[in-house]
A = this chain, B = another copy of it.
Amino acid sequence: MTETFVVVGGDAAGMSAASKAKRDDPDLEVVVFEKGQWVSYGACGLPYYIKGEIQSLEALVSVTPEEFRQERDIDLRTGHEVTAIDPDTRTVTAERTEDGGEIVQSYDHLLLATGAAAVEPPISGTDREGVYTLGSMSDGKELREYVARARSEESFHQSDRGPACQYLEECSGPVAVIGGGYIGIEMAEALAENGFEVNLFQRGDRLLKGFSEETSETVLEHIEHQDVVAHLGSEVESIAGRDGAGDGGGAGGSEAVGAVLTSEGEIPVEMVLLGTGVRPRTALAEAAGIELGSTGAIATDAYRETNVPDVYAAGDCSEAIHTVTGDPVYVPLALTANRHGRAVGQTVAGTPTEGGEVAGTAAIKAFDVEAARTGVLDHEEARAAGFDPVTKTVDARSRAGYYPEGGTVRVTMTADRESGRLLGASLASEYGEGAVHRSHAIVAALEGEATVFELENYDLAYAPPFNTTWDPVLVAAKVLSSAIQ
């Protein structure tokens, strides 16, 4: 009898699972429910689309719905939102967006790949016109349209100018980006490069809080140099309308954005982007009795199976085990979603496959700087996992000192004092000077549970156009190793 594999959610995790399962077991019936119209798209590319470096939204789609249906023989139902799961009858109920009609689909294996939703910060006025988030393709489309409109409207060029704008040849008028993480910084770049005066608000005292302080500082200095006005330790309390009233006055929530009110005072802006992080979409799972973990995301075993038999979870709705600490963590990123999805597909098709752990690795480009982080950097987190963390930071040349090109790679590295075990690292360099690709070595060392004493002896490639004889990674390991011994 033909088995049915039902997938809820048609992005990275869901479509990876569907494709892999169907490829490995062509007899399997694979049904995917996706509430929107877009599937399998590179959300990570949206800031570059908004910036204008990528011309069409379609370019972000790696496989089209038609290709999934026709070439991969997957029963992909876009415009279908799954509203309930019944583990007893092994069925899901889905609602057609188009006409509200309901269908009930039975499954033998079920994957929840419901992704993450933007966190709505506790700020009043987020429903005003001119307030955006960036999670979906349609968000991306709206933002690009906003940029295009603003650039062409004279009125935007006559608005009040802040300090950043005096250096720009052509300047659109001030916008607010709330949140100093990936989305916030990438969007600050996309907007600033389009001539907007960007105010970046970060509640904490530094950007990119998962990276090392030194990396955060490098990125901060650079984006300020690019005329982004960074407001650190600044809590946005409300988004006001054009009359400046805190809660929109007579026009209510629909009045267009005019200012943000912060602990520092009122700052006039014409647009607000909320980049305050994401949270796992778990409501559907919870209603079906599927357990969440300590992180608030869906808990699974190593094979991505939840507490309910034959129900799996993958990607941004679920948690994963950390390579270094062995503890569950919530790190919603693209590679993990793909990897977990693929593993579930393989498992469902008959070859039980573990989803793998995560090292909390992340990378970002901010204007002309690149940065990456991996492992455990936070001392409190390291101590909670039983380590005695020691951290060192080095600035090292990215290429031979005499080589005509080159810059600086700043490496922050953390290890356990007792064992010397490498715990994590954070790297920053000029864009093109290799901070991100060098982080690959750190990840590999973490996966192998290497010590810094071992790492400093790695036989890394050397030639003058690529590094100094001791690559910055080795220099950092040497300095840290000396500090521990």
Contact = CB atoms under 8 A, between A and B. Distances in A.
A460 B448 contact: no
Given A432-B432, A434-B437, A459-B335, A45 B464 contact: yes
Interface in A445-485: 445, 447-450, 454-455, 457-466, 469-471, 473
Contacts of A402: 42, 45, 48, 54, 59-60
A303 interface: no
Given A54-B402, A372-B461, A462-B363, A473 B440 contact: yes
Interface stretch (A101-109, A123-131, A354-362): A354-362
Contacts of A466: 363, 365, 370, 436-437
A220 to B, nearest CB: 19
Contacts of A12: 469
A470 B450 CA distance: 23
A441 B434 CA distance: 13
A334 interface: yes
A273 to B, nearest CB: 19
Contacts of A339: 457
A365 B463 contact: yes
A332 to B, nearest CB: 13
A334 B459 contact: no
Contact of A454 (B60, B400, B432, B447): B447
A62 to B, nearest CB: 7
A439 interface: yes
A335 B462 contact: yes
A365 B461 CA distance: 12
Given A402-B45, A403-B45, A448-B448, A374 B458 contact: no
A443 interface: yes
Contacts of A119: none
A42 B401 CA distance: 10
B338 A459 contact: no
Q: Report which residue of A44, A442, A471, A473 has the largest number of chain B beta carbons within 10 angstroms of its beta carbon.
A: A44
Oligomer: number of copies: 2
A363 B458 contact: no
A347 interface: no
A475 to B, nearest CB: 11
Interface in A368-419: 370, 372, 374, 400-404
A53 B404 contact: yes
A181 to B, nearest CB: 13
A168 interface: no
A31 to B, nearest CB: 24
A323 B404 contact: no
Interface residues of A, number: 69
A336 interface: yes
Given A364-B463, A400-B44, A356 B447 contact: no
Contact of A48 (B54, B437, B450, B464): B464
A257 B462 CA distance: 34
A437 to B, nearest CB: 4
A436 B467 CA distance: 10
A470 B447 CA distance: 17
A359 B457 CA distance: 11
Contact of A469 (B53, B54, B334): B334
B459 A323 contact: yes
Contact of A465 (B370, B438, B458, B465): B370
Contacts of A365: 463, 465-466
Contacts of A443: 441, 458-461
Q: Report which residue of A48, A60, A402 has the largest number of chain B beta carbons within 10 angstroms of its beta carbon.
A: A402
B459 A54 contact: no
Contacts of A48: 402-404, 464-465
A68 interface: no
A436 to B, nearest CB: 5
A434 B444 CA distance: 16
The 10 closest A-B pairs by CB, nearest first: A448-B448, A444-B444, A437-B437, A440-B441, A356-B457, A363-B461, A363-B463, A359-B459, A59-B402, A365-B465
Given A339-B457, A436-B466, A445-B448, 13 more contacts: A12-B469, A44-B464, A48-B404, A354-B457, A362-B463, A363-B466, A436-B461, A436-B463, A437-B466, A440-B441, A440-B461, A442-B444, A447-B454
Interface of A: 12, 42, 44-45, 48, 53-54, 59-60, 62, 323, 333-336, 338-339, 354, 356-365, 370, 372, 374, 400-404, 431-432, 434, 436-445, 447-450, 454-455, 457-466, 469-471, 473
